[in-house]
Structure 1
Amino acid sequence: MTFDPLQERGIALDAQIRDWRELAVDPIDPDRADPYTRCRIITMNGIEMESIWFSHHMARHCPDMDVKRQLARMRAVESQQQKAVNWLLPGVASVLETTIAYEQVAVDLTAWVARMEPDPYLKQAYEFGVLEDFDHLYRYANLYEMIEHRKAEEIVDGLTEVMPGRPTRYHHRDPADNVRDPYDRGRTDPLSKMHALTIMSAEQQTMNFYNNVGPQYMEPIARQLYQEIGLIEEEHVTHYESLVDPGETWWEQLVNHEYNECYLYYSFMEQETDARVRAIWELHLNMELEQLRLACELMRRHEDRDPTEVLPERLPQPLKFEPNKAYVRELLDTQIDLTTLGAGYVREAHERFEAMQARLNGQATPPNEQVMERHQEMFGREYRLETEGEHPVASLRSRD
């Protein structure tokens, strides 16, 4: 029997507020948990944070006091959901360990979405971005070994490779070239809307995380690397948020947010290996079902439209965290030399790109390359985890 969020009944909103005992979730064991359980936690924290901030922005533009109160009720529950999800992360994990997990999310979540995306233009946007996050994982993994003398393989568990992607120094582009063309809300597949919302939310969370934790380091090289990659994550948020049709009404966006949360909680509940975490996904799904119903009611009442006009006819194939090694290697082999120009992609450097490169990298070595130089000095090698053989790009193969 197909699961249909529009037909299922959830928990009444008034019954969704939890007390402190219920919110005091036990964190996962960082040494024994499935790495993809941690990835699902990080993803859902980003999704909940986006839902909360969207609700705040909608409320700031809404003159109807009854709607503002309804949004506040729903937002209070979303805030509790975000706390329960994010507090599943273990406090014993260092910031760098969590950072490497964030980048594993960026690689395997974006790669999966790219593989499943039906729109060629949107697919290219995800393929372009994943090669940059893949390189960030590599840079942070080398910093991790430098500072904590531990290896990233303990975190990614061989599910995601660690080696160079599109070199980080080339991620710095003229801001105008980070803006993509939006999809057409009236013609695009509803799955494409969900993909864009999911990846935008994940990258937005990563940007905010790096902006907040970067200054907490004492080591200058760590502070500088977080600063550099934090700026690139802002580019990525611009890249992904511009894919969303700005013509979507507030009611459309509200319904899309709630439906996407149902989709993701259902997806993760279906594949979760930790029974205790799975129970949280199931509980939150039942909460989101009611929030979706209320969002649909608001759309019918205030826009006189049926939400089925903008939502999928059936729940899409569940999103999965799984290895994407072959796919990423194919992208490395075929797209590593791409950059952006306007809303498209080119292989040749152009005037705006070269101007930004000269401004940022012309007089000083970028932090990401300083990390690699210092790692080489300390260990006589770089850190990689190449489980599928040597790098597909000859110029990026290890020369240790």
Structure 2
Amino acid sequence: MTFNPLRERGIPLDEQVRTWRELAVMPIDPDEADPYTRCRIITMNGIETEAIFFSHHMARHCPSIEMKQQLARVRYIEAQQQKAVNWLLPGLASVLETTIAYEQVAVDLTAWVARMEPDPYLKQAYQFGVLEDFDHLYRYANLYEMIEHRRAEKIVDGLTEVMPGRPTYLHHRNPVDNVRQNYDKDAAAPISKLHALTIMAAEQQTMNFYMNVGPLYMEPIARQLYQEIGMIEEEHVTHYESLVDPGETWWEMLLNHEYNECYLYHSFMETESDPRIKAIWELHLNMELEHLRLAAEMFKRHDGRDPEQVVAPALPAPVTFEPNKAYLRELLATQIDYTTIGTGYVQEAHERFEAMQRAVMDDEKPASELVISENAMKSGHEYRLETEGPHPVPSLRMNRPT
């Protein structure tokens, strides 16, 4: 049955404000909750955070007081939604446990988007990025075992494998090579625009998280690893945000943001295993339907077009958190030695890449390599969670730091 959010009516905006008591949601149980419930929570926190940031940026460029006020009214509700969603995460979880969950989101959400993306160039962008997040999960899992003496399999529950991806030290690229070619707003499929917004928001949230929690650790190796991967997350935000067509008007971008929120809340309402969390997704969907209606009205008034000229008349198939093990192993076997050059990809180190490697590492072993050797020394092994046979080991054509 198709669902057209443009034709639905949600909760009137004046009825959406919640009391502090209503916002005091009960967090999930970290030992009993479905890991993918936690992934959905982290994803929607990133989506709501992006909605707030985007609304602030738009307001700073909006000359109309009336429009600024309208944005502020909706933004206040988005901020309440963000608090309700993010506060579902348990305070019992350590920063590292949440970090591993963030990387599980990055791996399985990006892999799913790559599988579903119809545009070959955009698909390649997601395939390229997911192999790096896959490796970050492996590095943080080793840090977790070394510092907290616990294993990441308790967090990912075997749904996501933990093993090397494209080695993290190879992610340090010249900034100009992180900029991709944007899609064409007039030619791109509506689902491609939603994919780009979703992964951009997810990576932005991870970048923000690492830049804030990294210095909270006392252990030098932890501080160094968060710093290193935090810089790569900045690269990833550049990588994904550059996919979005800068020719979209502010009203068009607002429409796409609100439509994407409806899409994701509807997706998670359809796929959520926890009835209590499902009810929150449903509530927020009914709020977002009104936000979308208001955005559509502003789009028609200021852009002069019908919203269905920009967004799909019915929601696509739901975004689904599910294991992507076979898909990731295929990518590991064929694309692990890729790097970027300009807006494209190559399988050989090039002069600009090598110059950036020298500038960043200065012939020193980076934290992402040290954490593996130090955990092996401390725990007697490096930590891996392989569930489907031997890990593919393609030949790398780039030098490993000594």
Q: Is contact 2:334–2:394 with CA below 8 Å preserved after alignment?
A: no
- Distance in 1, Cα, partners of 2:331 & 2:395: 15
Residue 6 (structure 1) aligned with residue 6 (structure 2): yes
SS of alignment partner, residue 345 of structure 1: strand
Structure 2 partner of 1:58: 58
- Distance in 2, Cα, partners of 1:262 & 1:314: 11
Paired amino acid for 1:56: H
Q: Which runs of 4+ in 1 moved over 2 A?
A: none
SS of alignment partner, residue 348 of structure 2: coil
- Distance in 2, Cα, partners of 1:200 & 1:224: 24
Structure 2 partner of 1:177: 177
Structure 1 partner of 2:257: 257
Structure 1 partner of 2:76: 76
Structure 2 partner of 1:344: 344
1:237-386 pair list within 5 angstroms: 237-386=237-386
Structure 1 partner of 2:233: 233
SS of alignment partner, residue 208 of structure 1: helix
- Distance in 2, Cα, partners of 1:30 & 1:296: 39
Query: What RMSD in Å do the two structures reach over aligned CA positions?
Result: 0.8
Structure 2 partner of 1:109: 109
Structure 1: runs of 5+ lacking an equivalent: none
- Distance in 2, Cα, partners of 1:381 & 1:135: 17
- Distance in 2, Cα, partners of 1:379 & 1:202: 32
CA deviation vs aligned residue, 1:118-155 (integer Å, no higher than 9, x gap): 00000000000000000000000000000000000000
Shift of 1:362: 3.0
- Distance in 2, Cα, partners of 1:332 & 1:304: 46
CA deviation vs aligned residue, 1:245-269 (integer Å, no higher than 9, x gap): 0000000000000000000000000
Paired amino acid for 1:240: Y
Structure 2 partner of 1:152: 152
Paired amino acid for 2:266: Y
- Distance in 2, Cα, partners of 1:129 & 1:216: 27
CA deviation vs aligned residue, 1:232-252 (integer Å, no higher than 9, x gap): 000000000000000000000
Structure 1 partner of 2:26: 26
- Distance in 1, Cα, partners of 2:128 & 2:394: 20
Structure 2: runs of 5+ lacking an equivalent: 397-402
Shift of 1:160: 0.1
Paired amino acid for 2:316: P
Paired amino acid for 2:35: P
- Distance in 2, Cα, partners of 1:381 & 1:21: 47
- Distance in 2, Cα, partners of 1:123 & 1:202: 17
Number of residue pairs aligned between Structure 1 and Structure 2? 396
CA deviation vs aligned residue, 1:41-86 (integer Å, no higher than 9, x gap): 0000000000000000000000011100000000000000000000
Shift of 1:395: 6.2
- Distance in 1, Cα, partners of 2:286 & 2:5: 10
Structure 1 partner of 2:67: 67
Alignment TM-score, normalising by the size of structure 2: 0.98
Shift of 1:394: 5.6
Q: Is contact 2:332–2:394 with CA below 8 Å preserved after alignment?
A: no
Alignment TM-score, normalising by the size of structure 1: 0.98
Shift of 1:379: 1.9
